[in-house]
Amino acid sequence: MRRLLENPGFRIHLIVYVAVNILLLLINLIVSPHHLWFYWPALGWGLGIMGHAFLVHRKQVPHATNYGS
């Protein structure tokens, strides 16, 4: 988990995901409180977050190579 949060790309992705989904929840509750739909975009985008997390977690630190010598 620490590696994920230390990755600036993932951290920004997660912050935007949370902020947008809170906004969608508020819009949903104001516009149509008896018909909840906010979770559909949250689930779809959540799959993308999980994929991003997987890629960040399995990414290895690149080794320094000496090209051209």
- Torsional sign, CA 55, 46, 2, 12: positive
Residue 17 belongs to some domain of the structure: yes
CB atoms under 10 Å from CB of 11, counted, come to 13
Residue 63 belongs to some domain of the structure: no
Residue 15 belongs to some domain of the structure: yes
Residue 67 belongs to some domain of the structure: no
Mean residue pLDDT of the chain comes to 88
Residue 36 belongs to some domain of the structure: yes
Residue 7 belongs to some domain of the structure: yes
Query: Which of 22-31, 33-42, 44-53, 55-64 comes out lowest in average pLDDT?
Result: 55-64
Residue 44 belongs to some domain of the structure: yes
Average pLDDT over residues 8-24: 95
What is the span of the domain harbouring residue 32?
2-58
Query: Domains in the chain: how many in total?
Result: 1
What confidence tier does 66 reach under pLDDT thresholds 50, 70, 90?
A: low
- C-alpha 20/C-alpha 58 separation (Å) is 27
Residue 68 belongs to some domain of the structure: no
